[in-house]
Structure 1
Amino acid sequence: MKYAVISVSSEGARLGARVLAGISGEGTLYERKGSESGEKAQYFNRTLALTADIFTKYDGLLFIMASGIAVRAIAPHVVSKASDPAVLVMDECGKHCISLLSGHLGGANAWCREVAAAVGADPVITTATDVHERRAPDDVARELMMRVEPLGALKPVNSFIAEGKKVTWFLDEETDGASSIGERLSKKGISFLPLTALDEEAFDGCVIISDKKIHVNKPFVCLRPKNLFVGIGCKRGTPETLISDAFHKALALAGACEYQVASLASVDAKADEKGLLDFASHNRLPIHFYKAEELKRVTEKVDMPISKFVENTIGVGNVCQSAALMESMKGKTLLPKTKFVSTTVSIALGLSGSSVSDRAIGKK
């Protein structure tokens, strides 16, 4: 997780440094000028201006200040639970840590518990399903890196879960990786039925894990397992074996499974690369090639490492990460550019929602 810790007082800055030292992930301290902790940090003058600059650059934002300041700072930038970062607020004495935004899909509730535990704070979570200790489909989707469709259906389904009504989980056994998905659901204490039992069961609402287009005449939400997009860059003439090795090592680093990959992407200069094409064909994965100028626009908008040599050679300084983000409709980076033998790989997580809403969000 890539996150920012933002403070406006010296005491808050010192607390932020404690948080940074006590939790996992890649964190950056942002401290108001004149109220520094003494630790390595970036300094700012105005919280609203800083938030406008970094809101879309991090997976999570922790504001150590009054909640009202944080709310006003993020308000102009909130778009959708599908794309907004996790946002937490903590008082400068470290007594309470509040999950403010993107509790499930953004992971704010889980992150809130981690941050609170690191400094002995009380985690404040108000999400209905969580306070009733019932698993919500969007929370499970985040943990299993699945896509939620349609996003608008979450509200009635989660309301039923919070109210204790019967919401049944169904798993399509014909879906790639169904056995692995079933094992993971069981470990999370979630009981499920095969999709073939859908018409036989009585329920108030349901959650369906499948790649198929399905309609139910009651409130329902689908979780789509194929939600990862892999960008690949390689040297000219790289054999399929090295590309395959890099692909599988990258998935392992991201904690992902092969069945979750929806497609591959690269730059159009690699459209005739035999090893890459053979790998895509043998793994039955669609692969799309983007123009260098398209990918370069992505690198200019997103903070990512750039190779000047590659940029001078083919016109874009980071092929794999920019291609993964393009392929995911500008989703979120799960694994940044990672180097392997003759190959670079990046993995992006698609936005959650319907395909129509995803494209609309991605264009913002």
Structure 2
Amino acid sequence: MKIAIISITEQGQLISDKLYSNLENNPLILHVQQYHKNVKETIKNIFNEYDCIIGIMASGIMIRSIAPYVNSKLSDPAILLVDDNGNFVISLLSGHFGGANNLTHKIADIIDATPVITTSTDVNNKIGIDSIAKHYYCSLENTGNIKFINRALVDDRKVELYLPSKFSFILTDSVRDSYNIHIDNTLEMIVSEIDGHKVILKPRRLVMGIGARKNIATSKVEHAVLEACKILEVPVDRIDLFATADVKAKEQGILDVMSKYDKILEIVEMSDIKNYENNDISKSDFVMKQFGVKGVCEPACLIVNGDNSELIFKKTAYNGVTIAVSVNNN
């Protein structure tokens, strides 16, 4: 996720600084950029470049600035508003599939503010079908039917939800309270339906890249994998493939974890990693000196995941192990 923070006043700049310092080291946030003043011009230049834009300003300024560029709740960035005293954080746009509602709670926690959510499903303690898709890395089909599903939830009607068994982990209390659950081992996709209106959630492929020191202990690899999954809020079973470089292909610690969780480890040639270009990849001076490449875990997971993939978990070190995760957006 890439986040832009726009402030206008000196007080707003202080809030921006606090958010920046808290967000820049979050594994789920690839890039945070601060902007100050020139709101309309800034919005014009960045609206489609960031996953979330946080405006520390009056709502009217932000609404007028984003109005020419708003297109769809399925593609617009999350837009959050913070007042100049940091009392409230408002989810303004793309609350569900853009993730604004969830981000609003997280930003409010950082600055000790009150989150303001206005989407009907959320205020009625229901979880919208598009929120499920966002949270668990799924694409949506039959998007015109989302409104029928979510409206039924708000009206306190139980909506049918058909899950592959590997997705039973999503059965939180709020999901159980919102849907009639059906587990079907033959399914490859998640299906929700009400009155003949069907929405399909197709799981996007997740690939976890692993780098490690020589002769790394199995326990350290497993700890790193589990910690990354905890932050992503998914079980290891949700990770479709693992990836590493050929120089790490025989690391027993990595192989042991693959065997324990019955996972496939894809091997990427160092020459492919060396030639791979992606602006989101971080550089390790140690890895560059040792192997002549910027890194292992990030390019490995992106290469294996193929075209139109992006990082959702940037390189994070866990006691000799580095982890990164990519999602394929096809």
Q: TM-score, with normalisation over the residues of structure 2? A: 0.71
How big is the shift at 1:87? 1.7
Residue 331 (structure 1) aligns with: 310
Relative distance call for 1:192 and 1:285 in structure 2 (3 A) is: same
Per-residue CA distance 1:38-67 (angstroms, 9 max, x = gap) = xxxxxxx6763587469646x532112355
Deviates more, 1:153-162 or 1:76-85: 76-85
Is 1:110 paired with 2:110?
A: no
The CA RMSD over aligned residues, in Å, is: 4.6
2:178 to 177, 180, 190: 190
Q: CA deviation at 1:322?
A: 3.1
Distance in 1, matches of 2:58 and 2:276, equals 35
Which residue of the other structure, out of 169, 175, 195, is the alignment partner of 2:160? 169
Where structure 2 has 5 or more consecutive residues not aligned to the other structure, the ranges are none
1:319 to 274, 288, 296: 296
Residues 22 and 49 (structure 1), Cα distance of their counterparts in 2 relative to 1, 3 Å cut: closer
1: CA distance, partners of 2:204 / 2:192: 19
Per the alignment, do residues 93 and 313 of structure 1 end up closer, same or farther by CA in structure 2, a change over 3 Å counting?
closer
Distance 1:313 1:218 in 2: 59
CA positional deviation for 1:225: 6.4
> Does 2:116 align with 1:123?
yes
Contact 2:5 / 2:53 at 8 angstroms: preserved in 1? yes
**Is 1:5 equivalent to 2:10 in the alignment?**
no
Q: CA deviation at 1:319?
A: 1.5
Q: Does structure 2 retain, via aligned residues, the 8 Å contact 1:65–1:90? A: yes
Specify the code of the residue in structure 2 equivalent to 1:32. Answer: H
- Quote the residue 1:211 is aligned against: 188
Amino acid at match of 2:159: T
Query: 1:255 Cα deviation (Å)?
Result: 4.0
Structure 2 Cα separation of the partners of residues 293 and 78 of structure 1: 42
Q: 2:54 aligns with which of 41, 57, 62?
A: 62
Q: How far did residue 105 of structure 1 move?
A: 2.7
Which residue of the partner structure matches residue 346 of structure 1? Answer: 324
1: CA distance, partners of 2:296 / 2:309: 14
Mark the runs of 5 or more structure 1 residues left unpaired by the alignment: 34-44, 197-207, 352-357, 360-364
The CA deviation at 1:286 is 2.9
Give CA-to-partner distance per residue, 1:146-202, whole Å, 9 cap, x none.
424326255344454366384523344x61263x443x2467633433246xxxxxx
Moved over 6 A (4+): 18-25, 75-80, 213-217
What whole-Å deviation, never above 9, does each CA across 1:190-225 have from its counterpart, x for those lacking one?
A: 3433246xxxxxxxxxxx995358797932234456
Q: Which amino acid aligns with 1:170?
A: L
Cα shift at 1:346: 1.9
Determine which of 303, 306, 309 is the counterpart of 2:286.
309
Paired AA for residue 316 in structure 1: V
Q: Which whole-Å CA distance do the structure 1 matches of 2:16 and 2:113 have between them?
A: 13
Q: What's the CA shift for 1:104?
A: 1.2
TM-score if structure 1 supplies the norm length?
0.65
**In 2, Cα distance between the equivalents of 1:185 and 1:142?**
18
What SS does the corresponding residue of 2:166 show, helix, strand or coil? Answer: coil
Structure 1 residues 141, 24: CA separation in 2 closer, same or farther (over 3 Å shift)?
farther
Identity %: 25
Amino acid at match of 2:155: G
| Displacement of 1:345 | 1.4
For the pair 1:250 / 2:228, whether they are aligned, the reply is: yes
Question: Does 1:285 pair with 2:289?
Answer: no
Q: Which amino acid is 1:134 matched to?
A: K
Question: Residue 121 of structure 1: CA displacement?
Answer: 6.1
> Cα distance 1:285–1:130, how it changes in 2: closer, same or farther (>3 A)?
same
Relative to structure 1, is the Cα distance of residues 271 and 66 closer, same or farther in structure 2, using a 3 angstrom cutoff?
same
Give the partner amino acid of 2:166: D
CA contact (8 A) 2:138 2:203 kept: yes
